Amino acid sequence: MVKAKEPGIIHFENLDPGFCNEVASLPGGENIRKCFACGTCSAGCPVTTIDEEYNPRKIIRQILFGMREEVLKSPVIWFCMMCYRCYARCPQQVNFTDVMRAIRYLAIKNKAVPADILSNNDEIDRLSQLIRRDMVKHTIEGRKQVIKEIKSKIDNVMESNH
């Protein structure tokens, strides 16, 4: 018997003990059981700084507990930027970015994805990449200008000393 959902309460009957195994069997999910919930993934994640609902440590815990439905139907699994900061900092080498790829795959496979997510995802990805490119380009161009100004000042100083 499946119990009604109550905020903050996990009912054993609603858990899927095979969910963690399924995630672990997919590429990238192999090390998920190594997580000891230190929170390094969440602390280093740029998404957590702008959205408190997104929490990699919580998502991993939900997977380990077997909370299939909560994970696969959650819109927050689409927030990950795939920057690999979590993996680079994880002391247990849990590649959370690839875990996110695995659970996104499962969400699509199990038709648990909100309809608007997939229809807008390509457009969202393209827009975010354009913004990122423009910001990086602006930063690089800005640095080139600063370097040019510094070189000009150095040249002026060198000429005035001669």
How do the domains of the chain map onto residue ranges? 1-113, 114-162
Strand partners, 6: 9
| Pair 80, 97: CB distance under 8 Å | yes
Looking at domain 1-113, its CATH architecture is Orthogonal Bundle (1.10)
Conformational region of residue 28, where left means phi above 0, alpha means psi within -120 to 50, and beta covers everything else: left
Residue 63: CA count within 13 A, CB half-sphere: 31
Taking Cα atoms as reference points, which of 30, 21, 2, 31 lies closest to residue 63?
A: 21
- pLDDT tens per residue, the chain (162 residues)? 556 666 677 778 889 999 999 999 999 899 999 999 899 999 989 999 999 899 999 999 999 999 999 999 998 999 998 889 999 999 999 999 999 999 999 999 999 887 777 778 777 777 878 887 888 888 888 777 767 777 777 777 667 665
Q: What are the backbone dihedrals phi and psi of residue 9, each rounded to the nearest 5 degrees, phi first?
A: -115, 130
Q: How far apart are CA 60 and CA 54, in angstroms?
A: 12
**Residue 23 in tokens:** 């995630």
